[in-house]
């Protein structure tokens, strides 16, 4: 998959680590229970300081489904519009959307490692991310809401739907997300009530708010 190959190649340039070495590291950890899982369990270190966390994100999204979903979004974002990506990860979508020449491209990401890497990717393309705006033509949230504390999911979803004319929301079942099974309301039912028009595509909610 060309899109993910670009992610792994730029991760190699950014970290100096080849993704095949990371795959070997993970494989050996499964076999021999080496330090990878000790580091993974040490969340403050792994999520805040380890370059392997960036590879972990890329590896979990290295599937045909994500390639299809990213392409679906890119084809529906019109040129010269404003876009906000909540939970941008390693910036896969941002590198795609630059081809749509957005009027502004804004991200929100909780992990500083990811933010640094996304900014590095933008600089390589002579592009800049934009400051937050009060409203956007498009809002995207991929694989993020289920990672939030359960009590904040509804409030965050309400906020995302209120600041975008068209929203793309994807919340996969994620056993690795600590709060995934604790969300106290039906996200799809909530979106259906709020949307002016709703389309689903392989689990992605395409929500038109105007």
171 φ, ψ to 5°?
-130, 90
pTM of the entire structure?
Answer: 0.87
DSSP lists the bridge partners of residue 170 as 142, 204
Distances, alpha carbon 2 to alpha carbons 10, 145, 162, 169, in Å: 12, 27, 34, 23
pLDDT at 150: 86
pLDDT at 52: 79
Residue ranges of domains in the chain, CATH in brackets: 2-60 (no CATH), 64-208 (3.40.50.150)
> Beta-carbon neighbour count of residue 8 at 10 Å?
18
Distances, alpha carbon 123 to alpha carbons 10, 84, 109, 119, 151, in Å: 12, 18, 18, 6, 36
Distance between CA atoms of 68 and 56, rounded to whole angstroms? Answer: 20
Token couple for 156: 């965050």
Digit-by-digit pLDDT tens for the chain (210 residues) are 566 788 989 999 998 888 777 666 655 654 455 555 555 555 565 566 678 788 888 888 877 899 999 999 999 999 999 999 999 999 999 999 999 999 999 999 999 999 999 999 999 999 999 999 999 999 999 999 988 888 899 999 999 999 999 999 999 876 555 555 667 788 999 999 999 999 999 999 999 999
DSSP lists the bridge partners of residue 201 as 204
DSSP lists the bridge partners of residue 108 as 86
pLDDT at 108: 97
Distances, alpha carbon 14 to alpha carbons 51, 117, 121, in Å: 9, 8, 9
Distance between CA atoms of 210 and 12, rounded to whole angstroms? Answer: 42
């Amino acid at each position: 998959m060309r899109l993910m190959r670009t992610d792994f190649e730029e991760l190699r340039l950014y970290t100096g680590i080849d993704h095949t070495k990371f795959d070997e590291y993970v494989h050996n950890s499964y076999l021999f229970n080496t330090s990878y899982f000790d580091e993974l369990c040490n969340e403050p270190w792994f999520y805040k300081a380890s370059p392997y966390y960036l590879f972990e994100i890329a590896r979990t999204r290295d599937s045909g489904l994500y390639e299809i979903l990213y392409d679906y979004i890119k084809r529906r974002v019109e040129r010269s519009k404003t876009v906000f990506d909540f939970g941008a990860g390693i910036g896969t979508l941002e590198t795609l959307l630059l081809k749509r020449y957005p009027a502004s491209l804004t991200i929100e990401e909780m992990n500083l490692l990811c933010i640094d890497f996304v900014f590095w990717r933008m600089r390589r393309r002579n592009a800049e991310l934009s400051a937050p705006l009060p409203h956007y033509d498009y809002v995207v949230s991929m694989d993020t809401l289920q990672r939030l504390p359960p009590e904040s999911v509804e409030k965050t979803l309400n906020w995302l739907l209120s600041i975008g004319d068209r929203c793309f929301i994807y919340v996969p079942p994620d056993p690795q997300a600590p709060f995934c099974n604790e969300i106290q309301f039906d996200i799809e039912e909530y979106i259906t009530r709020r949307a002016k028009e709703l389309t689903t595509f392989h689990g992605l909610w395409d929500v038109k708010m105007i």
